[in-house]
Chain A
Amino acid sequence: SQQGEEDPQALSIQEGENATMNCSYKTSINNLQWYRQNSGRGLVHLILIRSNEREKHSGRLRVTLDTSKKSSSLLITASRAADTASYFCATGFAGGTSYGKLTFGQGTILTVHP
């Protein structure tokens, strides 16, 4: 079963607007990562936030993590048409048999209209 659940499943906005995607998970994690996938391509890593971090920035991306609520959000500010893609959260676990493995959510399809 999927560890991460994302919402919304699809998001349609105008260029210049902000886009917010959310991810919830069920069990304790070591880190949470966000990836982007353009149509027909492999996934590209965007940002990693560790379980002891609450917020992280990278360019126009802002990620928050709330371990008490088992949730994360990805904010893309001042969106561009080139941001159109699917966005996935992935959770990494602390150890045992789950060490090193990521579990991906089903993704949010973001469409940014010019």
Chain B
Amino acid sequence: IAGITQAPTSQILAAGRRMTLRCTQDMRHNAMYWYRQDLGLGLRLIHYSNTAGTTGKGEVPDGYSVSRANTDDFPLTLASAVPSQTSVYFCASSERGNNEQFFGPGTRLTVL
């Protein structure tokens, strides 16, 4: 692994289903982030974690949950997907807050 990876690359999901988007980084960064990107709205922060064991809510956290059990992994879970969660999801990491962020390649999620 080099940098930050996300899985799956894309997914089509029925409304009401549970889905976990995976994110892993090998840079030993303290901070990790989840964003969603929608046309015309730019990137919006969903949840973040400044260090392993802690998480916080971003701008649009409703319907999403995260966990940070270790430094490397930061999964994002949609407990019961709704069509408005159709988006491209990006995971990012940084050595610490306010530093440059490194982004994964994204997961394109479609909820029908």
Residues of A in contact with B (beta carbons under 8 Å apart): 2, 30-31, 33, 35, 40-45, 48, 88, 90, 92-93, 97, 99-107
Contacts and interface: CB of A to CB of B under 8 A. Distances in A.
B41 A42 contact: no
A40 B41 CA distance: 16
B14 interface: no
A106 B42 contact: yes
B80 to A, nearest CB: 26
Contact of A41 (B35, B45, B92, B105): B105
B64 to A, nearest CB: 15
Nearest to A1: B59
B48 interface: yes
B83 to A, nearest CB: 22
A43 B48 contact: no
Nearest to B58: A101
Contacts of A100: 31, 48, 50, 94, 96-98
A2 B59 CA distance: 9
Contact of A2 (B35, B42, B98, B99): B42
Chain B contact-residue range equals 20 to 34
A105 B31 CA distance: 21
B24 to A, nearest CB: 14
B101 A102 contact: yes
11 contacts: A35-B103, A88-B43, A92-B98, A100-B50, A101-B33, A101-B58, A101-B97, A102-B45, A103-B45, A104-B42, A106-B41
Given A42-B104, A93-B98, 4 more contacts: A43-B92, A100-B31, A101-B58, A106-B40
A48 B106 CA distance: 23
B102 A105 contact: no
